[in-house]
Chains A and B, each alone.
Chain A
Amino acid sequence: MIQLVDIHKSFKNQKVLDGLHLEVEGGKTTVIIGLSGGGKSVLLKHMIGLLKPDSGSVIVDGEDITKMNDRDLNETRKKFGMLFQEAALFDSMNVFENVAFPLREHTKMTESQIGDRVQSRLQDVGLVGVEEKMPSELSGGMKKRVGLARALVMEPRIVLFDEPTTGLDPIMTEAIDRLIYESQKKYNLTCVVISHDLKSIFDIGHRIAMLYDGKIIGYGTPDEMKNSENPVIRQFLTGSLEGPISVV
């Protein structure tokens, strides 16, 4: 479904992705783990064409999006939804307008059809009666849920999540994880999730990929990753200061 082939990406003189290969399976949730500042968000942005690699290919449904013109890239992007780290809701629009935005932009639905779809998505994420609120009036968890409703409103096949639970309390983290899990199951989505939260990783991930030093150094099911012999993966998953990853 999504293949990243030999991706290299540098910013000024700093190499972030260095010959990265990854294949994201359709209809499954792949969680990408790795150190903070290790290039996970950069990797996610390559999948949807927000960043272009210095070299390498990003293949979505058999087509290389790095070689597409803007029009074709936009068509491909309609297959995607994305939940940003801070939700990225439009400050100037209320909740309803935020969720309705992609429908108004790309469909010929009537206002009543848009209203029904928006209500249904807001119900999916457990938010009713907040349609008129502005993003500044919402808590962090509510923003993420509205962001998720917006990401799902166009019924995409692929949804990307950039640290969906960072900064949330454990109960809200659990709620967001459950929403991701249930949405994936209900709509048979292909999900790619960036997360640091070990519980989330094993709760929602069908596949886990570890990004380290610009490359995917481990890929497998949660059990395979738990039992990995790779010292970097072991250190990361146990959260130990002792090991090949030196942070202090």
Chain B
Amino acid sequence: MGRVIAFFDRFGRSIFSALEEMGSMLLLFLSVVAWAGRPPFKTRLIIKQMEFVGVKSIFVVVLTGLFTGMVMTLQIYYGFRMFSAEALVGSTVALGMARELGPVLTALMVTARAGSAMAAELGTMRVTEQIDALYVMAANPVKTLIVPRVIAGITMLPVLTVVSVFVGVLGGYFVGVPILDINKGMFIKNITTYVSLSDIYNGLIKAAFFGFILSFVGCYKGFTTTGGAEGVGKSTTEAVVVAAITILLSAYFLTALMF
């Protein structure tokens, strides 16, 4: 009997704790929305964050996009060759990159690079009382720290996704045409035939949503850090894990809704 009570006690506590965290995330989200629309706008801070999230992620996004396009071309080629559909390899790679892999891979890479950094930086600011110092100086930390990062996440992810899709298709072309000997004209023509603008738009909407997820989760985890250096490490890990899982889960539901 005691064990049953202990089980329900633990279960109840974890439910309460999850609900508490969701409530606190919702409150922070509402605060971000309210402060994002209230002037004066912190243009300098927003641009600085856009540079951090966007410009500084280009190398890693190009690298992952390029090799993803290349390996997809290889795999799809071996499958399609079985029923002589090699000409469709280019369009399949382009569709896959534009709709799914471009946004998802970009988001996962930026989560690892920038989302984790957001959690670590804000977490360190929390445990070293820098966030308290902002409150003391009557400067709202949500407006100063979180809003610029979330805006940077939402705006830069679509840009990075465009880069990723472009180099992915380019990588596919260089593997498909010169190496696997796919007809160059068919490779390009099928891309323009089968990939519509809506595929690209929907991919970019997804990317913006993922940008919000990774920046908001990174900021939330950092902002609510407790417990010194160990707490900062925990927040950073949680930020990456929660953002990556949310991105992968929401990718499915967004795809089901959009396409």
> Given contacts A90-B130, A91-B124, is CB(A82)–CB(B136) below 8 Å?
yes
Query: Which B residues are CB-close (under 8 A) to A85?
Result: 129
Residues of chain B with a CB closer than 8 A to A48's CB: 136
Q: Is the beta-carbon distance between A102 and B130 smaller than 8 angstroms?
A: no
Is A106 within 8 A of B132, CB to CB?
A: no
Chain A count of residues within 8 A CB distance of the other chain: 25
Least CB distance, A139 to chain B, in whole angstroms: 16
- List, in ascending order, chain A residues with CB within 8 A of B133's CB: 82, 84, 88, 90
B137 touching A105, Cβ below 8 Å: yes
Instruction: Flag A68-92 by CB within 8 Å of B: 1 or 0 each.
Output: 0010001101101110111011111
Which residue of A88, A89, A154 is within 8 Å of B132 (Cβ)?
A: A88
* Alpha-carbon distance A74/B143, docked complex (angstroms): 14
The 4 A-B pairs of least Cβ separation, nearest first, read A74-B138, A88-B133, A88-B129, A77-B138
- What is the interface of chain B mostly: helix, strand, loop, or mixed? helix
Residues of B within 8 A of A78 (CB): 138
Q: Are B130 and A50 within 8 A (Cβ)?
A: no
In the assembled complex, the CB of A233 is this many whole angstroms from the nearest CB of chain B, namely 29
Give complex CA distance A92, B121 in Å. 10
> How close is B229's CB to chain A, nearest CB, in angstroms?
13
Give Cα A101–Cα B42 distance, bound, in whole angstroms: 13
Would A50 and B139 count as touching, CB distance under 8 A? no
* Inter-subunit contact A50/B138 (CB<8 Å): no
Q: Which of these, B130, B136, B137, B139, contacts A91 with CB under 8 Å? A: B130
From B121, B125, B128, B136, A50 is in contact (CB under 8 Å) with: B136
- Complex: A88 Cα to B135 Cα, angstroms: 12
User: B129–A105 contact, CB under 8 A?
Assistant: no
Count residues of B near A (Cβ-Cβ below 8 Å).
Answer: 14
Given contacts A90-B130, A105-B137, 8 further A-B contacts (CB under 8 A): A74-B138, A84-B129, A86-B128, A86-B129, A88-B133, A91-B124, A102-B137, A105-B138
A45 to B135, CA, bound (A): 11
Q: Taking the nearest CB of chain B, how far is it from the CB of A193, in angstroms?
A: 16
When chains A and B are docked, how far (Å) is the Cα of A78 from the Cα of B138? 7
Write out the residue numbers on chain B whose beta carbons fall within 8 Å of the beta carbon of A101: 137, 139
Contact mask for chain A residues 47-63; partner B; CB cutoff 8 A; 1 contact, 0 none: 01110000000000000
Mark interface residues in B96-131 (1 if CB within 8 Å of A CB, else 0): 000000000000000000000000010011001110
Q: Is the CB of B137 within 8 A of A88?
A: no
CB neighbours (8 Å) of B128 from chain A are: 86, 88, 91
Q: What 0/1 readout, one digit per residue, does chain B (121-161) give for beta carbons within 8 Å of chain A?
A: 10011001110110111111000000000000000000000
- Chain B residues near A70: list those with CB within 8 A: 140
Minimum C-beta distance from B120 to chain A (A): 11
- B residues near A82, Cβ cutoff 8 Å: 133, 136
State how many angstroms separate the Cβ of B166 from the closest Cβ of chain A.
32
Quick one: which of B129, B132, B136, B139 contacts A80, CB cutoff 8 A?
A: B136
A102–B121 alpha-carbon span in the complex (Å): 21
21 contacts between A and B (CB under 8 A): A48-B136, A49-B135, A50-B132, A50-B135, A75-B138, A80-B136, A81-B136, A82-B136, A84-B132, A85-B129, A86-B128, A86-B129, A88-B130, A90-B130, A90-B133, A91-B128, A101-B139, A102-B139, A105-B137, A105-B138, A105-B139
A75 to B137, CA, bound (A): 10
In Å, the complex CA distance between A84 and B132 comes to 9
Return chain B residues, CB-CB under 8 Å to A50: 132, 135-136
Distance, CA A156 to CA B140, complexed state (A): 19
**Chain A contacts of B121 at CB under 8 A?**
92
Residues of A129-149 at the interface with B, using a CB-CB cut-off of 8 Å, are: none
Residue of A nearest to B136 (CB): A82
Nearest B residue to A75, CB-CB: B138
A130 to B135, CA, bound (A): 26
A134–chain B nearest beta-carbon distance, Å: 14
